Amino acid sequence: MLRRMIAGTTLVLVLLGGCGIPDGSDVTDLGPGPSTGISSGDGSLRSRLTRESTSDRAQFVTNYLQAAAGDYDTALERVKQFMSTPAKEHFNAPAAPRVIRTIDTPLLTKDQDKVKVEYELLGTLGKNGLIEPPAEPTTGTYEFTLTEVTGDGLFMVEAPPFLLLSTRGLDNFYEERTIYFWNTEYTGLVPDVRYLVGDVPIEQEPTIILGWLIGGPAPWLQDAVKPLPEGTRTEGKVPAIENNQLAITLSAQAVPTQDAEAAVDRLRRQLQWSLRRLPYEFLKLRIGHQEVRSYSGTDYLSSNPAHRLVPNPDRYVVYDRTVRRLVEPDRQTPDTVPGLNADNNKDVSRAAVTTTGSHVYAALVTGSGKNERLRVGFAPAGQVATLREITGLPGGIGYPVWAITPEGRTDGAAGLVIADGRLWRFRAQGGQALQVTWPGGTGKISAITVAPDGHRVALAIGGRLYRAVLTISGDGLALSGMQELDPPLESVTAVDFTSEGWLTVAGTDRSSKRIAIEDVSIDAALQSDRLADIGTNAVSYLTTYPANPESNRPTGSTLMYSTGIDAWEGLSTSVQLKAGSLAGPSSEPRPGVVPGAPFFLD
């Protein structure tokens, strides 16, 4: 059960003013706002709701909770359009909207003049497009007082003293946009997901995105990434797209004097990834008074590790204590496992195998009970890995995961594993496991997942969901930037990245009290049902293969999970993986032996 800070049974409200309605209501239709060009939206965004959109009191409050969506600087005025004149005069809320998830439908009191809304506070939405979560999950009840004037409709006369934005409003009127920052080793870009107002004219997008980049990364990412150099700013003309060219001029401080050529190349790749959704072919970049440099093509894609994700990943399970490949119905499927052969692929209970362009890495949990061991190794691509034991782990070893696998070399390759409810790191060369700690870290860990960028992680700890970053220090790997998230599930047991900006989470549905698997955004503000009801058996482990950011899919399409010893594939419904799902020669199923511990070749 999620531990929550309850904000009272009912929130204490600030009286906004009297209930009188003037003869002239001065209510105007907000509409979509002026546009100076082609909208960046895809045409699916909802029409703007106004005070006059409904005469139903519960729906009126639902609409009110979406009024703050849109241009940050005019949010207060949009919200006031729903209010009586006296209420408007007394309503001066903080500028940052509070993002809330409403629980069930709004409830009317017996006298019909008040509407109560139970909520979960997810955070505040800043002008930088970030939702910053609260220090602790917070629930409570907001109360709204309405009045109706014959012939003039409903008015809000009393409301909480905040700009409130429901997740429905967030989903209807914003688009997710990802900007990127280089990791601290300058080996790859790390995604930073923001919210962009859906009806922003496309001419304004470069300025907004550059402002986000100059403003720096999200707080939880700061220890793992490099901000742009201090003093970086835009200069000259407003960045604009003309003749299929996007021209950007940045101050000289944007590039350090030391190793300047490499820094310019990193900067243009960062810009190309962050601006890639805009319709231009050539990036014209000027730094200070230098000559304009022109960039085009797709070579920048290699800077993001997620670009290497394939559309149809290889799938594996553990069957009869060996790692076996699952058959793929759309292509020939050899019954082989990279890096393993008959000599080292035995007595296995859980496994993780990943490949780079040059090497394969394997991590196998072997044995059982007190004799359980973690054995890891690597080999050049196409060869068999030599496995070495990881020492120093307590009992209760979970599923290993490879966190860092450098391209072209093996030094620095490392993985993570849960043992005895604690997190441990191991080296690809074997040796002693070291515990990974974090400030204030408490509770037993049941799941850990690492994003393709190798730095962002999500964890299930004590039934709660967290996000954090892996940082590389002199002592190895450490966790920092830990933030608790509030998905629409209780007792979270498993989690995995399903795209750059989304997670797949398993836990207990708060309404039905049955097990469900949900897709949630990286801040847990948005959600989408994956498998709404899979019964009463808890998910002990799940794995997804993340969507390539170039695929235009919001989440990965493939999901596998475990309940006890059974393994399942999550399609439109759950399908159990059986012996007939294995690649290679078919054989008679053995009683009591079923495929388990599924995973993808990363």
Which helix (H) or strand (E) segment holds residue 170: the answer is helix 167-173
Is residue 286 a contact partner of residue 295, using CB atoms and an 8 Å limit? Answer: no
Question: Between residues 442 and 252, which one has the greater pLDDT?
Answer: 252
Q: How confident is the model at residue 45 (pLDDT cuts 50, 70, 90)?
A: low
- What's the confidence (pLDDT) of residue 7? 31
Q: What is the pLDDT of residue 96?
A: 95
Residues 478 and 354 occupy one common structural domain: yes
The predicted pLDDT at position 14 comes to 33
Contacts of 66-70 with C-beta under 8 Å, sequence gap 24+, read 66/165, 66/166, 66/168, 66/169, 66/172, 66/173, 67/169, 68/97, 68/163, 68/164, 68/165, 68/169, 69/97, 69/165, 69/169, 69/170, 69/172, 69/173, 69/174, 69/197, 70/33, 70/173, 70/197, 70/199
Per-residue b/e over 70-108, b at no fewer than 16 CB within 10 Å? bebeebbebbbbbbbbbbbeebebeebbbbbbbeeebeb
Three-state SS for 246-270 is EEEEECHHHCCCCCHHHHHHHHHHH
Q: How many Å apart are CA 550 and CA 545, to the nearest integer?
A: 14
Give the rounded percent of residues in the chain with a pLDDT score beyond 70. Answer: 92
Residues 219 and 162 in one domain: no
User: How many Cα neighbours within 13 Å face the side chain of 595?
Assistant: 24
How many other C-beta atoms lie within 10 A of the C-beta of residue 545? 24
Residues 67 and 192 in one domain: no
User: Is residue 61 located within the same domain as residue 200?
Assistant: no
Amino acid 441: pLDDT: 67
Give residue 558's domain range.
306-600
pLDDT at 47 over 90: no
Q: Is there a contact between 523 and 485 (Cβ–Cβ < 8 Å)?
A: yes
Number of structural domains found in the chain: 3
User: Do 70 and 198 belong to one domain?
Assistant: no
Last residue of a domain, one of 145, 173, 201: 173
State whether 269 and 212 are in the same domain: yes
Distance CA(272)–CA(410), nearest Å, equals 29
Checking if the pLDDT of 289 tops 50, the result is: yes
Q: How far apart are CA 99 and CA 87, in angstroms?
A: 22
Question: What confidence score (pLDDT) does residue 113 get?
Answer: 86
State the average pLDDT for the chain. Answer: 89
- What's residue 410's pLDDT? 87
pLDDT in tens, 497-539: 999 999 999 999 988 999 999 999 999 999 999 999 999 999 9
- With cut-offs at 50, 70 and 90, classify the pLDDT of residue 100: very high
**Mean pLDDT of the 294-315 span:** 95
Query: Is there a single domain that holds both residue 146 and residue 252?
Result: no
What pLDDT was estimated at residue 10? 32
Same domain membership, residue 447 and residue 337? yes
Residue type, 128: N
Q: Which residue type does 105 have?
A: T
**Do 329 and 446 belong together in one domain?**
yes
Supply the DSSP symbol for 8: -
121/249 same-domain check: no
Question: Is 240 found in the same domain as 350?
Answer: no
pLDDT in tens, 108-154: 887 778 999 999 999 999 999 999 999 887 899 999 999 999 899 99
Q: Which is more confidently placed, 302 or 47? A: 302
CATH number assigned to the domain comprising residue 17: 3.10.450
- Alpha carbon distance 574, 275 (integer Å): 38
Q: What is the CATH number of the domain that holds 580?
A: 2.120.10.30
Q: Which of 173, 200, 232 is the last residue of a domain?
A: 173
49 vs 159 pLDDT, higher one: 159
End residue of a domain, out of 118, 147, 173: 173
Q: pLDDT (tens digit, 9 = 90+) per residue, 306-359? A: 999 999 899 999 999 999 999 988 888 888 999 999 999 999 999 999 999 899
Position 283: which residue type?
L
Q: How confident is the model at residue 36 (pLDDT cuts 50, 70, 90)?
A: very low
One domain for residues 294 and 314: no
